[in-house]
Amino acid sequence: MPQQPIAYDAPTPEPRATSVEAIQSEILERLIYSVGKDPIVARPHDWLAATILTVRDRVMDRWMESSRETWRTSHKRVYYLSLEFLIGRLMRDAMSNVGLMEPVRDALRNLNVDLGDLIDLEPDAALGNGGLGRLAACFLESMSTVKIPAYGYGIRYVHGLFRQEMSEGWQVELPEEWLAHGNPWEFERRESAYEVGFGGYVEPVTDPDGTVRQEWRPNDHLLAVAFDTPIVGWRGARVNTLRLWSAQPIDPILLDKFNSGDHIGALEESAKAEAITRVLYPADSTAAGQELRLRQEFFFSSASLQDIVRRHLQQYGDLGSLADKVAIQLNDTHPAISIAELMRILVDDNGMEWAPAWKLCRGTFGYTNHTLLPEALESWPVALLERLLPRHMQIVYQINADVLADARGRAKFTDAQVANVSLIDEAGGRRVRMGQLAFVGSHSINGVSALHTELMKQTVFSDLHKLYPDRINNKTNGITPRRWLMQCNPGLTQLVSDTIGPAFLDDIDLLKDLDAYAEDATFQAQFAAVKLENKERLAKLIKDRLGIKVSPDAMFDVQIKRIHEYKRQLLNIIQAVALYDEIRAHPERDWVPRVKIFAGKAAPGYWNAKLIIKLINDVAKVINNDPAVRGLLKVVFLPNYNVSLAEVIVPAADLSEQISTAGMEASGTGNMKFMANGAITIGTMDGANVEMHKEVGADNIVIFGLTTEEVEVKRGEGEVPRDSIDASPRLQEALESIATGVFSPDDPNRYRDLIGGLYDHDWFMVARDFDAYATAQAEVDAIWADKARWNAMAIRNTARVGFFSSDRTIRQYAHDIWDVAVPEE
C-alpha cells in the first residue's frame, strides 16, 4: 500500500536573522549548548563546529522550503547517481551562496576569531578521486542554482580514496580520516534504510491468477542507511540533497558466536557490511577486490532505486508515471547495474509485464559516458554476477536477447556487429559489458565534449549507435563559477565587479564585457597584481609544506590531475629535464624563470603512474639543488591533491598544462577552472580543449601535437618510435639521462623500463609529440617576455569562460535529456 501523501500546510518558523549581532549571538549559543565549550577555553575546531551549525541553521529554512515546494507542485525530480561526489569543504560554499560571508566574518572578528583560519580547518569530504567526482559536485550545485529539484546519490565512504603522502619520493597511501570527528553537515535518516541482498537463488513463484514470476531469495543481507547533506544554490535559490548510503549489518553482533568465545567471528557480519563503504575504488586486481567493487556498485544502486521508487509511490501511488516524474542520470558506468535492478523492482516486486517495464526503464534513465578507455568501461565476469546477483544476471540475458533480436531482425546486422552490440563479451572469458547495459537501458547517452561524443559514435559504441542512432548526444562539461572563481579567487572577482559591474555574478556570460579591457594598461596592471597575490599565497604553501622556496615572479607552470599515462605528466617532466640541460649548457641566454608544479594521485595498483610520481620527485631533488640552474627552474610535487589544494593552486597558475594524448581525454574540467582564473592553456586538440580553442580564439591558447586522426594513423602504421627519438637530440639526451640513473643514483636502473617503453611502442605518443611540445613551450616563453601580450591573453581567457559554466550544461541536460522545466531566471 502506498504511504499517505504528506501535508505541507503546517506552520513554519520565521527565517533566522542574518545580522552580525544575531549571528554572533548564535555562534556563542551553539558553542556553549551544542559543542559544550566555554568561549574562554574553546579551541579553533570548537569555533569551527559552532560556526558551521550557525550557518547550517540558515540553510535549513531554504532546504525545507525547497522540499515542500517540490511536493506541492509535483515537479519532476532529477536523481544523479555517481560513485563519486568530490564536494570539498562546504562552509565557505554555503556562506557565499546564501550571502553570509561578511556577516559571519564580522561576527567572528568580534569574538577574536579569524574566519579564514576556520575555513582552512574544515576537512575535505573524501568522496571522490578527480574530475568525475568534482563534476558531480558542480552539477549538484548548479541544479540548485537553476532551481531543478534534484537528489545526488552516492556512497558515504569512511576513508574515501586515500591520503597521499611521500616517502623518499614514492607515493604512500594512508587512510583518509575526514569523518574521524563527525560531519556537522550531514543528517542521518533512520527512516530511509533499505535492505540490500546478495547471493542466494531465484525461485519461480505462481501467483493465484496463474502468472509465474521470478523471486530472488538472497542469502546475504545488509542495510543501506541514508545520510543527507544540503547542497545550496547561488543566492539560496534552492537547496537540494546529496544522499549518501552507509552500509550497516542487520545483526551487528552474533551473540551465539560471541558467547561461545569466538569474539572476532561474532563481528564478521559488521566487518563484511562496513567494508562496502570503507574505501573508494578498492583495488580490483584480485577476485576478492572485484567482488567488493561490484558489491559497492550494486549496494548504492539498489538503495537509491528503492528510495526513488518509494518516494514516487508515496506521492503518486503507482509506477505508470515514473518516467514522467523521475529522471535518473547514470554518471559513468559504475551505477549501470541500476538498469537491471529497476527492471527487477518493476517486474518482480510490482508485477509489471516485461515490455511496459522496459519502456518505462528506458524512459527514466540517461547515461553519461566519461571515457573511451576500455578499462574504465567496466565489465564483470558472468560467473561473478551469477553468484552475487543471480536474478540480475537473468535480467541481463533477457535484455540481451531483445537487443540481439533487434540487431538481427530490424537492423540486419552481421555476426561481427551482433557480437559488438551484445551485452556479453565472449572473447577471453564471458563478461558482462556494463557500458553496453547502460546504453541499451537509457533513452539518452551523452558524451562530455564535442570531440568525445563524435569518438563515441566512431569507436566504443559505433554499432550500438547504428542500431539506435537517435540516442547519442553531446553535453560539454562545465564548472560552477561560484566555487572556481568567486570563492577561490575573491581578489579577481572584486576586480571584475569593480570594472564591469556585479551583474556577472548572476549571469556568468556577462564576463565577456571584460574583453574590452584586455589591452587596457591600467586594468592589466590590476589583473597582474591579483595574480601575483595569489602566487605569493601558493609560494608560501609550497614553502610551508615542502621547504622549497619559489619566486612568485617566475612563471607558475601547472599540471594538477590524476596521474595517468594518457594525461602525460611524463611528457612534462621529460621536457623539464631537457630544459634543465639547456639552461646548464647555455647560461648566457635570457631564460624565463619557471616553477613546474605537479599534483595528483596514482591508483594504488598502477605501477607506471606511481613511478612517474617518483621520477618527478627525483628530478625535482636534482634540479632544485643544482646551483648551476640559479633558481631559473624549480620542480614541485604537492602531495595529497584535493579540492582545497586546487582552490589555492588554480588562481595562482600562469600556464595550464592540458597535454593529454589526442583522443583520450573525454573533456577535462581543470582546463576550464584555469581558464576562468586567467591562466593560458598549453594543450593538445583533445577533449574540451577543442571547444576552448573555439571560445577563446586561436591567439589566446597554445596548441601543439598530433591530432586524434594522426594518433590513430601512427598507431595503425606500426611506426617505430625510435625514429622520433633519434631525430631529436635534446629528447635523446633527456631520455638517456633519466634511463641511466642521473636522477636516481641510488638505483640507476629505476627508470630503464619506463623510458624503454617510449622506444618500443610509445602508445601515448610522448616521444612523437615531444618536439612539438618543446617548440610550444618556447612560444610560451616568448609570450611571457611580452607582458602586455601575456596579460591580454590571460584576461581574454577569463572573459570568454562563460560557455563552460555548469549552469549552461545543466540547462542543456534539463531541456534535452531530462525534460525538466527550468524556471525563468
Catalytically active residues, by annotation: 370, 561-562, 567, 669, 673
Using CA atoms, how far apart are residues 176 and 172, in angstroms rounded to an integer? 12
Using CA atoms, how far apart are residues 57 and 13, in angstroms rounded to an integer? 12
CA–centroid distance for 151 within its chain: 17
Using CA atoms, how far apart are residues 45 and 37, in angstroms rounded to an integer? 11
- In terms of C-beta density within 10 A (0-12 exposed, 13-18 middle, 19 or more buried), how is residue 741 classed? middle
Using CA atoms, how far apart are residues 465 and 468, in angstroms rounded to an integer? 5
Give the H or E element holding residue 245: strand 239-248
The answer to whether the CB of 511 falls within 8 A of the CB of 799 is: yes
The answer to whether the CB of 329 falls within 8 A of the CB of 818 is: yes
Using CA atoms, how far apart are residues 509 and 478, in angstroms rounded to an integer? 13
Using CA atoms, how far apart are residues 214 and 212, in angstroms rounded to an integer? 7
Using CA atoms, how far apart are residues 795 and 444, in angstroms rounded to an integer? 37
Using CA atoms, how far apart are residues 70 and 33, in angstroms rounded to an integer? 34
Tell me the backbone φ, ψ of residue 589, rounded to 5 degrees. -75, 160
Secondary structure class of 12 (helix, strand, coil): coil
Amino acid making up residue 463: D
The answer to whether the CB of 473 falls within 8 A of the CB of 453 is: yes
Using CA atoms, how far apart are residues 363 and 328, in angstroms rounded to an integer? 9
Pairing of strands 633-637, 594-599: parallel
Using CA atoms, how far apart are residues 261 and 9, in angstroms rounded to an integer? 56
Grid cell listed for 583: 639552461
How far is residue 545 from each of residues 25, 298, 411, 624, 645, measured CA to CA in Å? Answer: 37, 40, 61, 15, 12
Q: Which residues contact 711 (CB under 8 A, 6 or more apart)?
A: 661, 662, 663, 765
Pairing of strands 170-174, 163-167: antiparallel
Write the DSSP symbol of residue 298.
Answer: H
Grid cell listed for 451: 570531440
E strands within 744-813? none
